[in-house]
């Protein structure tokens, strides 16, 4: 309810602003502030759209200027989907099959070996011809429909379609027809292979139900029709056969054929423009929210990374301190052991000195030993120094 009141307030405000402004010509140039007022958007939002080249504009002497006609054309383009009026869709009972199935929609020699391959091959043809906006969604919807109940009928024909008609996923209504030479096991009630496949992408129930009924009637009214379609020798002949059968079906029901009307040209509507502006704002806010969430996630990731790095550094410092403590402990023990050993040595020397002093014989021997050590080596004359042949006089 609150959102509804806000929207009503925005509409009233837009009409007041439009009434207060004189109607400019299509060639009148608007400034950035005037454009933001005209579009009911913030100045920064408009500037961002201009910088992203989403809004047409030109620069004069370093300032942005905008033509009213260009802005209206841009808004009309944005509002194209708003004018896809269901009332303008031609009734499927009055629409010729040729308008929905051009020559490119015929696959005369399908290569798929199984049911899933057949679905993918038919959808790929529609996507390659740019009749589809979202191929994965379309294939998924077809597979989902086939899991509920097979669309294959007795006689070798299948009518593939989705449960829901999402107009935003399809660019235009279409029917793709494919033929398999060998046939594919598609879950038909009679247990026989399926040879002819119709893929329906008709976008509206107003088209889907009548076209599906017509195709079922023209292929199932006689057993020879499937045989005729299987025996065609080219895509052109196959399409011609289908269009001829469709014309006969229309004539039998006395339904006049009319040419397919061209799509209605979008008409500029201030209310629709306002709705589109609100959609653009909502989209912008959603994108900004997504960006903020991504930034927050990245910041959280970075914080966790920094926390892990700090913990790793702290662990490394703790290990370093422990190693240093162990080293100092070992050094202190080694010094203490060396000091104890030196002390023991000194004590032993002192004890032996005391023992020598008390024993006179030991003291004399010690003195003689010390004198022998101190005597010069030159004073000693070895007996071997005499000549071997010398005689004693």
The most distant pair of C-alpha atoms in the chain lies apart, rounded to whole Å, by: 173
Mean pLDDT confidence for 143-155: 89
- pLDDT tens-digit map of 271-318: 777 777 888 888 888 888 888 999 999 999 999 999 999 999 999 999
Pairing of strands 152-153, 157-160: antiparallel
What's the mean per-residue pLDDT of the chain? 77
The predicted structure's pLDDT at residue 104: 92
Indicate the pLDDT class of residue 328, thresholds 50, 70 and 90.
confident
pLDDT of 378 > 70? The answer is no
* This prediction's pTM: 0.46
Among 55-69, 119-133, 358-372, the range with the most confident prediction by mean pLDDT is 119-133
Q: Check residues 165 and 258 and name the one with the higher pLDDT.
A: 165
Percent of the chain residues topping a pLDDT of 70 = 72
Rounded alpha-carbon distances, angstroms, from residue 300 to 8, 69, 293, 380: 40, 47, 10, 93
Predicted pLDDT of residue 86: 42
Q: Regarding the domain delimited by 2-79, which CATH topology (the fold level of the hierarchy) does it fall under?
A: Multidrug-efflux Transporter Regulator; Chain: A; Domain 2 (1.10.1660)
pLDDT at position 163: 81
State pLDDT tens for residues 152-195: 988 899 999 888 766 677 888 899 999 998 899 998 888 899 99
pLDDT exceeds 90 at position 255: no
- Please answer whether residues 35 and 66 qualify as being in contact, where contact means their C-beta atoms are separated by less than 8 angstroms: yes
345-353 average pLDDT score: 77
More confident residue, 389 or 54: 54
CA–CA separation, 173 and 178 (whole Å): 17
Rounded mean pLDDT, 226-239: 90
- Cα 393 to Cα 386: distance, rounded to the nearest angstrom: 14
3-class SS at 94?
A: coil
- Identify any residues that bridge with 196 across adjacent strands, giving them in sequence order: 157, 179
Note the pLDDT of residue 72: 78
What backbone torsions phi and psi does residue 132 show, to the nearest 5 degrees?
A: -115, 145
Q: Do 100 and 171 form a contact (C-beta atoms < 8 A)?
A: no
Fold adopted by 93-252: Mannitol-specific EII; Chain A (3.40.930)
- The answer to whether residue 384 scores a pLDDT higher than 80 is no
What are the domain boundaries of the chain? 2-79, 93-252
Min mean pLDDT across 145-154, 254-263, 335-344 is at 254-263
The confidence score (pLDDT) of residue 110 equals 92
User: Could you report the per-residue pLDDT of 17-69, keeping only the tens digit for each?
Assistant: 444 444 444 567 888 888 877 776 778 877 877 887 778 888 888 888 888 88
């Amino acid at each position: 309810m609150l959102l509804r009141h806000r929207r009503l307030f925005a509409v009233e405000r837009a009409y007041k602003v439009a009434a207060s402004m004189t109607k400019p010509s299509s060639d009148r140039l608007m400034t950035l502030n005037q454009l933001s007022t005209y579009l009911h958007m913030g100045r920064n939002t408009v500037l961002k759209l201009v910088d992203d080249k989403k809004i047409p504009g030109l620069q004069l002497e370093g300032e942005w200027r905008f033509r009213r006609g260009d802005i209206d054309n841009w808004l009309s383009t944005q509002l194209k989907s708003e004018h896809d009026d269901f009332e303008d869709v031609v009734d499927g009972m009055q629409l010729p099959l040729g308008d929905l199935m051009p020559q490119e929609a015929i696959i005369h020699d399908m290569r798929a070996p199984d049911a899933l391959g057949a679905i993918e091959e038919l959808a790929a043809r529609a996507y390659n011809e740019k009749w589809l906006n979202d191929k994965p969604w379309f294939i998924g919807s077809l597979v989902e429909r086939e899991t509920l109940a097979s669309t294959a009928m007795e006689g070798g024909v299948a009518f593939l379609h989705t449960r829901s008609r999402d107009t935003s996923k399809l660019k235009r209504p279409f029917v793709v027809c494919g033929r398999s030479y060998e046939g594919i096991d598609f879950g038909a009630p009679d247990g026989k292979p399926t040879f002819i496949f119709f893929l329906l992408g008709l976008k509206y129930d107003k088209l889907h139900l009548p076209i599906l009924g017509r195709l079922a009637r023209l292929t199932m009214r006689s057993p020879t029709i499937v045989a005729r379609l299987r025996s065609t020798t080219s895509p052109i002949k196959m399409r011609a056969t289908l269009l001829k059968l469709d014309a006969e079906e229309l004539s039998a029901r006395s339904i006049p054929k009319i040419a397919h009307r061209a799509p209605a040209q979008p008409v500029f509507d201030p209310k629709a423009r306002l709705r589109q502006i609100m959609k653009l704002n909502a989209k912008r806010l959603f994108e900004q929210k997504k960006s903020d969430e991504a930034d927050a996630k990245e910041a959280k990731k970075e914080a966790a990374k920094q926390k892990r790095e700090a913990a790793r550094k702290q662990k490394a410092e703790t290990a370093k301190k422990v190693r240093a403590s162990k080293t100092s402990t070992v050094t202190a023990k080694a010094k203490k052991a060396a000091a104890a050993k030196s002390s023991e040595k000194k004590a032993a020397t002192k004890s032996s000195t005391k023992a020598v002093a008390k024993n006179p014989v030991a003291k004399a021997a010690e003195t003689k030993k010390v004198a022998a050590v101190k005597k010069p080596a030159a004073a000693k004359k070895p007996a071997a120094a005499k000549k071997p042949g010398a005689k004693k006089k």
